[in-house]
Copies of this chain bind each other. A is one copy, B any other.
């Protein structure tokens, strides 16, 4: 379960684009083809193909080609590394906040 630094970079890098976040959102309700994922966007199929490749390289989605169609689906649990890092960071963040608050209260 231990994820290395490099995979965190590719996951956050993948999430740093609203088109790709939208793709993940759209996949929550089930599998979609590349064409279906493209339809809400003003973008060529080739461009969408690149976004899909970025998400797959980051391990966030899994794709399979059935015939001439590529079907895309979420990879369950793939966000957990990103989630853990933020959660861990937030924990200290809020500890700092708490100690700041008590420090200020102590001073007042």
Interface of A with B (CB < 8 Å)? 5-6, 8-10, 12-13, 15-18, 21, 24-25, 28, 30, 74, 76-80, 82-83, 85-87, 89-90, 92-94, 96-97, 100
Residue of B nearest to A82 (CB): B86
A96 with B9: CB separation less than 8 A: no
A92 with B21: CB separation less than 8 A: no
B93 with A28: CB separation less than 8 A: yes
Q: List 17 A-B contacts (CB under 8 A).
A: A5-B18, A6-B18, A8-B15, A8-B18, A9-B17, A9-B18, A10-B16, A13-B13, A13-B16, A15-B85, A15-B86, A24-B89, A30-B96, A76-B97, A77-B93, A79-B86, A79-B89
